Amino acid sequence: MAPMGDGLREHGVLGGRYDNKEEKMEELLEILSDLHPEVDFTTAKDLVTGGILDSFDIVSLISEINEEFDVTIGAAELTPENFASAETIYALIKAKLDDED
């Protein structure tokens, strides 16, 4: 088990801005909704291959994710599979947060 230090607090695991999955997912859904308010991202699938998110949207999304969740998404992670739905994007964010702990 990881020590309970500032790193965990910084990433919202302990008493920070994001105390649970639902709050993190809500923030992600808000970011996505800001890009395309007309899309229901709770149910939308195939965001990239279905043409909902284009390359400009992905760049904007990554920038917002990097800022909001304090993670860095690398070029190798820019795959349609990682950006297929809000759930897959959340899984990527969670994996990045877990890697940093």
Q: For 25-74, how does the pLDDT look when each residue is reduced to its tens digit (9 = 90+)?
A: 999 999 999 999 999 999 999 999 999 999 999 999 999 999 999 999 99
**pLDDT classification of 21: cutoffs 50, 70, 90:** confident
Sign of CA dihedral 80, 23, 2, 67: positive
Tell me how far apart the alpha carbons of residues 86 and 10 are, in angstroms, rounded to a whole number: 23
Closest CA to 27 of 83, 76, 79, 93: 93
Tell me how far apart the alpha carbons of residues 9 and 67 are, in angstroms, rounded to a whole number: 16
Q: What is the value of pTM for the model shown?
A: 0.77
Q: Residues 52, 40: contact at Cβ < 8 Å?
A: no
**pLDDT at residue 2, rounded to an integer:** 40
